[in-house]
Amino acid sequence: MERHRRATSSTTIVILIFVAGLILGGMISSYVLIRKIDSLESDVSDLQSQVSKIYGGQNITQQNITIYQNNTSLTEIYERVKESVVLIRGETDSGTVQGSGFVYNHTGTIVIITNNHVVHSTNSLSVTFSNGNGYAAIINGTDPYADLAVLSAPTAPQTEYKPLEIVSSTTLEVGALVLAVGNPYGLIGSMTTGVISALGRTIDESEYTGGFAIANIIQTSAPINPGNSGGPLLNLDGKVIGITTAIVTDSQGLGFAVPSNTILREIFSLIKNGTYEGHPYLGVTGADMDYETAQDMHVNVTYGWKIAGTVQGAPASNAGIQANDILTGINGTRIRNGDEMSSYLEENALPGQTVNVSIARGNQTLTLQVILGHRPPPPA
């Protein structure tokens, strides 16, 4: 009996110790778990803080973008200029043509500026303003060599005209944002945006220019489509820095515009005389130089304009320029290709002016003085 009690007491003590161990272990486990929870909550809090900072940074970035857009006021620019852009429609022997134009005030004379190719060979013309009012139009002057034309609408009241300001294109830079407003496919008052992709390009409109390139052209990524031709290319102040003129068929982001400096240089003559006679003439044919051509010619010059031939009696021929000469500079300005040659002459020279032309001829470097001439008349 005593032995049984002792056994019972021992069992009871063991049970109590076991229970106490369980309780103590549970307390320790709970404490450890609580610490882990606290640590996890702290980590979560830190993570939330980091996420908040990142999110907050994103908000700031978005806010900056919004402010930037507000500063450039794309919507407001469009509202300011849309009434200045017109739809031009013309009738030709083969059908109807249409394009765009914009209103300009040249020292008190209100005109509509567009492309020559929009109005070429038209029998009748009309201009329609953004409010839907249309009027008969007449051609005051054209220049196929710059793809420019100036119109007027004699019966349109002065209240219709909202002239745009044309500013110099001298300071344009590649990458600058630009806007194009016009009537692609007859969709009146469409605006697109892009950047200036390149400067000093040349484009070929042989149908109107007799093979002469239109020089000093702006290349832009702003989407341009048939019907945009003649519309303004604008800076972020809503001022004209060019006039949209052409696209590369089936391309994406390859649009071209005549620079505003060309418009400003020609506008007086187009209004007063109906033509512009200030395009300089060298009288050469050729192609761009490159490394492979230089290797074939056994010369070290890999840039410039390789002369293929000269027109007899033209300025280049009179100055002694020959086939296979490489034109590398004009008046000390390096000329890398035909685009730069044409653009330099168009922007900086006039017929009758003497220019110093740098020539690489074999192993010789020559400087020849050339008296620039007038281009022959364009095709009718």
- DSSP symbols for 155-170: TS-GGG--PBPB--ST
- Residue 120 a catalytic site member: no
Do residues 154 and 125 lie in contact, with contact meaning Cβ atoms separated by under 8 Å? no
Cα–Cα distance between 307 and 288 in angstroms, integer? 9
Could you tell me the two tokens for 4? 């049984």
CA distance 336 to 128: 44
Contact between 104 and 112 under an 8 Å Cβ cutoff? The reply is yes
The active-site residue out of 106, 143, 147, 358 is 147
CA 199 to chain centre: 9
Q: Quick check: 238 and 224 in contact, CB under 8 A?
A: no
Concerning whether 250 is annotated as a catalytic residue, the answer is: no
**Contact at 8 Å (CB) between 111 and 101?**
no
The answer to whether residue 106 is catalytic is no
Q: Which residue of the set 126, 169, 221, 229 is catalytic?
A: 229
Catalytic pick from 117, 221, 279, 343? 117
Dihedral, 148, 152, 156, 157 alpha carbons, nearest 10: 100
Q: What positions carry a catalytic annotation?
A: 117, 147, 229
